[in-house]
Amino acid sequence: MPDPADAIEAALSERFGETVAVDPGLPGLNELARLAAHRVHRRYTGRAVPDDLVRLLCACALSAPSKSDLQQADILIIRDRERLGAIADLMPEMPWLRDAPVFLVFLANGRRLPALAEARQKPFPNDHLDLFFNATVDAAIVLATFLRAAEAVGLGCCPISVIRDHAAAVSAMLALPPKVIPLAGMCVGWPAEPGGISPRLSLGTTLHEERFDDADVLAEVDAYDRRRHAARPYRQQRDPDRFGRAEFYGWSEDKARQYATPARADFGAFVRAKGFCLD
Ligand SMILES: Cc1cc2nc3c(=O)[nH]c(=O)nc-3n(C[C@H](O)[C@H](O)[C@H](O)COP(=O)(O)O)c2cc1C
């Protein structure tokens, strides 16, 4: 086992391309080492993930903080291979979904609160964007906490927001009622390979001191593109028929190409049809 302070420094250096100081006397370094070394896993061994373990991890995830204690995040567990297969059929570009021993769906639940208002015979003048936003944020925090809990016991996970490309179909398959929407799915299994650290934008780009400053963003992104390309070059270029073949293909080119095609333009309509008010 490498010293946790050294492991954190090595992981963060790979992640951000710079040295972040670590005091070796800090408590909790093993947990920080796990966070620093995070990676998603998209390939799993055939080993089953026990039901009790999934329940334990969900309970830990649902222990996350919740805006105003409103508790608007739910988790839906899918183990049934047929049901998972039907969801996987919708997104053949992500075969890891079908192979996941367990698949979870993290839900933003804006339904309980108005139901409580009705049961307690109170007005509910807060049926606006904030209800949707709070429920979504709670669900995102629970998702991230689940990931952390799962990684602590050695499981590998991959969040799946592509289920929102098929939000209405997934919602119907899972019997999601009005004001309950899927935030993202999550493949969970025992990793089949170690995986690797995905470099992030420099701390100079995403960490601000005292006041927001993105004056150097393009230069920072350019440097990131090159650092990332050296460590993890893209294997394929996106949409070469439309955009041609770039001599240097970095992260910013990939993300610009990705967002040059409309995606989920109907998601707002889905959320409204589910009964959320976005005004
Ligand atoms: C909310 C969310 C949704 C994601 N959706 C998908 C997805 O649909 N398919 C997928 O393969 N990966 C998905 N990912 C995984 C990201 O691609 C991954 O986190 C990113 O490439 C960085 O890699 P790393 O987590 O290993 O550092 C998602 C991640 C998050 C946080």
pLDDT per position as a tens digit, 100-154: 999 999 999 999 999 999 999 999 999 999 999 999 999 999 999 999 999 999 9
Which atom of ligand 1 has the smallest separation from the CA of 200?
Answer: 27
Residues in CB range of 211: below 8 A, 6 or more apart: none
Residue whose Cα lies nearest atom 31 of ligand 1: it is 159
The residue type at 90 = L
Angle between helices 29-36 and 129-152 (to 10 degrees): 110
* Ligand 1 mean position, distance from CA 159 (Å): 5
Q: Which helix (H) or strand (E) holds 263?
A: none
Ligand 1 touching residue 39 (CB < 6 A) = yes
Cα 176–Cα 143–Cα 3 angle in degrees, nearest 5: 160
Dihedral, 200, 205, 208, 212 alpha carbons, nearest 10? -140
* Ligand 1 mean position, distance from CA 162 (Å): 10
Where exactly does CATH 3.40.109.10 map onto the chain? Answer: 51-194
pLDDT at 2: 78
Ligand 1 touching residue 198 (CB < 6 A) = yes
**What residues in the chain have per-residue pLDDT under 70?**
1
Give the pair of three-digit tokens for residue 73: 């995040």
Which atom of ligand 1 has the smallest separation from the CA of 196?
Answer: 26
Give the pair of three-digit tokens for residue 2: 């490498």
pLDDT at 1: 67
CA distance 148 to 176: 26
Which atom of ligand 1 has the smallest separation from the CA of 42?
Answer: 11
Q: Hey, CA dihedral for 54, 55, 56, 60, is it positive or negative?
A: positive
* Ligand 1 mean position, distance from CA 179 (Å): 25
* Ligand 1 mean position, distance from CA 198 (Å): 11
Topology of the domain comprising 51-194:
NADH Oxidase (3.40.109)
Residue whose Cα lies nearest atom 9 of ligand 1: it is 160
Ligand 1 touching residue 173 (CB < 6 A) = no
* Ligand 1 mean position, distance from CA 146 (Å): 14
Which atom of ligand 1 has the smallest separation from the CA of 144?
Answer: 31
If we measure between CA atoms, which residue out of 143, 173, 154, 212 comes closest to residue 37?
Answer: 154
Ligand 1 touching residue 13 (CB < 6 A) = no
Partners of 276 in the β-ladder: none
pTM over 0.85: yes
